[in-house]
């Protein structure tokens, strides 16, 4: 199985040994009316030349990173540091991929949506444990990518790249911090 190595969620193993981690970080800008394009040079100077930057929403900015680092945790955290250095007061709002729907899961894992739906619905018999519960049940339901990759590894022939699982875990950890900070912020007076 191949969490596509060069897409967000994937990790590439370079010839030199240092892997490349692919993930997206989204931020709220301190000034809601700010044009994110004005911040590009500062981001470049801070080391974000390994990210493609989305500047289509005022007050917001998104960076699609392909970052070389020994671990995914270092990759994601160094990326956050670079953006914070470039844009004082910037607030991370989301890291991806983490919360994913059935179609996203199928794409990331490289199987059909129908197959993934069957796994999720418990219609594939020869498994050792039940499919993970969605993180959010609804229309659509959303799953934590790290949980599904771990489950696939233990219960199916689809063997996720261990690096992809590590990356999903690192991205999910960032999101937990971000969500906690957002909740705390909403409760502050």
Candidate residues 46, 66, 69, 132; the one interacting with other proteins per rule CB under 8 A: 66
Interface residue with other proteins among 3, 53, 87, 168 (CB under 8 A) is 53
Nearer CB in complex with other proteins: 21/131: 21
Nearest distance in Å: CB 132, other proteins: 26
3 near other proteins (CB under 8 A)? no
Distance CA 164, CA 20 (A): 11
44 binds other proteins (CB under 8 A): yes
Q: Which stretch binds other proteins (CB under 8 A): 62-70, 81-89, 122-130, 147-155?
A: 62-70
Q: DSSP of the chain, one letter per residue? A: ----TTSTT-EE--TTS--EEEEEEEEE-SSTT--GGGGHHHHHHTTGGGEEEE--STTEEEEEEEEE-SSHHHHHHHHHHHHHHHSTT-EEEEEESSEE-HHHHHHHHTS-HHHHHHHHTT---S-SSPPPPPSB-SSS-BEEHHHHHHHHHHHSS----HHHHHHHHHHHHHHHHHHHHHHHHHH--
- Does residue 144 touch other proteins according to CB under 8 A? no
**Of the listed pieces 34-42, 154-162, 169-177, 180-188, which binds other proteins according to CB under 8 A?**
34-42
The site that binds other proteins (CB under 8 A) totals a number of residues, namely: 22
d(CA 109, CA 149): 8
Minimum distance, C-beta of residue 135 to other proteins, in the bound complex (Å): 20
Residue 90 within binding range of other proteins, rule CB under 8 A: no
Q: For binding to other proteins (CB under 8 A), which residues are involved?
A: 6-7, 20, 26, 36-37, 40-41, 44, 49-50, 52-57, 60-62, 64, 66
């Amino acid at each position: 199985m191949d969490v596509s190595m060069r897409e967000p969620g994937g990790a590439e193993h370079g010839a030199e040994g240092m892997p490349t981690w692919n993930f997206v970080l989204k931020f709220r800008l301190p000034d809601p009316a700010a044009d994110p394009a004005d911040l590009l040079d500062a981001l470049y100077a801070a080391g974000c030349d390994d990210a493609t930057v989305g500047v289509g929403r005022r007050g917001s900015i998104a960076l699609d990173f392909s970052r070389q680092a020994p671990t995914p945790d270092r990759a994601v955290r160094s990326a956050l540091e670079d953006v914070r250095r470039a844009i004082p007061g910037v607030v991370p709002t989301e890291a991806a991929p983490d919360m994913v729907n059935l179609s996203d899961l199928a794409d990331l894992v490289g199987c059909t949506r129908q197959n993934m739906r069957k796994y999720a619905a418990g219609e594939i018999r020869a498994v050792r444990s039940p499919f993970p519960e969605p993180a959010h049940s609804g229309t659509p339901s959303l799953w934590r990518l790290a949980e599904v990759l771990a489950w696939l590894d233990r219960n199916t022939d689809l063997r996720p790249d261990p690096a992809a699982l590590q990356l999903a875990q690192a991205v999910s950890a960032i999101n937990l911090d971000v969500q906690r900070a957002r909740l705390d912020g909403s409760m502050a007076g």
